[in-house]
Chains A and B, each alone.
Chain A
Amino acid sequence: MPNLDRLIERWCAGDEKAAEALYNLHKTRVYRLSFGLLGNIEDAEEAAQDALTYALLHIHDFDPRRSKFTTWLHMITVSRCRDLFRKKRLPTLSFSAWFNRDHAPAPSDLNPEQHTVRSEKRDMVWEAVQELSPSLREAIVLRHWGEHTYREIADIAGCPLRTAQSRVRLAYRHLEKLLTGVGQRQLAEEAI
């Protein structure tokens, strides 16, 4: 396991090998966090690449006295995911689709590969997490998957400590409700 501080130091001095080592050390975790927040493998890859590039380019801004490197990196990742999410949330505007509406079938949002991956992940909790609002999803993913402390979640999400705590609790409450609903529906289906 390479020494993180030493790698950061070497990259600050311009050693590209150290940048590559830092990248390889964190890429899977950053990618998975992006996937947890966006729920889509293509978007997750884009956000993760952007976050890692930003972090490596702004390595001089990282202050080890203020936060851990992973907290800082996750803060950047969350910010990039928010940007991507905002972009996806823009209302659809397609003149070409309007012109071709009688001729072309509506294209599916997911390719076969994504369909397979999604169907593999069609787990009750995962589906319920996707239904949460972005801020609650961030809180629950950072807490349950990232195992961050509330202080870290507050830093990453850019909110007060109490807000971070209440977001995690609120997300849990929502999940509880959603899961109860799903569970009841499944029982009803099985009974039929």
Chain B
Amino acid sequence: MTTNKHISEEKLMGYIYRTLSDAERESFDKHLSDCPTCWARLADHELRHRQISGSLETAINEVSPSRKMNFAAIAPRLQRRRAQPQFWRRFSLAAPLAMAVGGLVLAFFGLWQNLGAFFVPQPPSPLGTLPTLACFCFVFVSMDQFDRAFAMRSRFIIMAMLAFMLWLGTLVIGLLNILVIRDLVLTACVSAGYKPAETGVAAILAVLVSAVIYIIVIIGGAEYHYKRIGHPSSWKLFSWTIVMQLFIMVLPYFFNGR
């Protein structure tokens, strides 16, 4: 209990914060009645203890919620969430995670399948169903999270993982988009009767322009999403990016259909 006949600092803390056992407390009280030094130390600590409590209370209780913080602001979230069927709420976290992982696998597999086309220009042809399916998966995830942002946000770590997977997905699909644009420009030039040299220049220009746009979207998007992980604005931007990428991805289908 004591150090050099006086109560240890540890026990003093315990006394003030009421973490001592009854027996320890009793022995402490007995010691205090005989020791003015420990009494003074205790009084000093109690004073600081009160000072901390008082200051914290003043600092924290001085602030009050703004007018923006009212029930009307969260009521739509409650209604939307309660309107969701029970089974969906149960799977509501597993589904977007599975879709994001699935989408990434499809996107990378699609990229691997089309690697050869990066070096050999060819008439625009659908790049296989895998990247298109990947886009649908990503659209599902971003829209689900956008909707969730108004109802109930996921945990930060899950939102960060989903955002990272979506960003990686847009990065891969973006590469395939450049491929589609190059082939579309090539075919358009050939059908318009341009010479091979002019067609080549047009294709290079198309690749350069789309590459610049790609870099801006990917790097700018990374900064935007990084600062707004889990915010509706981030999921909305993801949704728009992926919808645009999906649109470019399906262009060859229309082109072939003509």
A interface list, Cβ under 8 A from B: 14, 16, 19-20, 23-24, 27-28, 31-33, 35-36, 41, 44-45, 48-50, 52-54, 56-57, 83-84, 86-87, 90, 93-96, 117, 120-121, 123-126, 129, 140-141, 143-145, 150, 165, 168-169, 172-173, 175-176, 179
Contacts and interface: CB of A to CB of B under 8 A. Distances in A.
Given A32-B61, A36-B60, A165 B17 contact: yes
A144 B78 contact: no
Contacts of A31: 63-65, 69
B13 A173 contact: yes
B156 interface: yes
13 contacts: A28-B65, A50-B153, A53-B78, A53-B152, A56-B78, A57-B78, A57-B152, A93-B223, A95-B223, A96-B220, A125-B59, A143-B17, A172-B49
A142 to B, nearest CB: 11
Interface of B: 10, 13-14, 16-17, 19, 48-49, 51-53, 55-66, 68-69, 71, 73-75, 77-78, 81-82, 151-153, 155-156, 219-220, 222-223, 226-227, 229-230
Given A87-B230, A172-B52, A173-B13, 16 more contacts: A23-B74, A28-B65, A32-B63, A49-B74, A53-B77, A53-B78, A54-B152, A57-B152, A83-B156, A87-B229, A121-B62, A140-B52, A141-B56, A144-B52, A150-B19, A165-B19
A173 B156 CA distance: 32
Nearest to B81: A57
Instruction: Kindly list the 9 A-B residue pairs having the minimum CB-CB distance in the complex, ordered from nearest.
Output: A125-B55, A83-B156, A126-B59, A31-B65, A144-B53, A20-B71, A36-B60, A23-B71, A165-B19
Given A31-B63, A32-B60, A175 B52 contact: yes
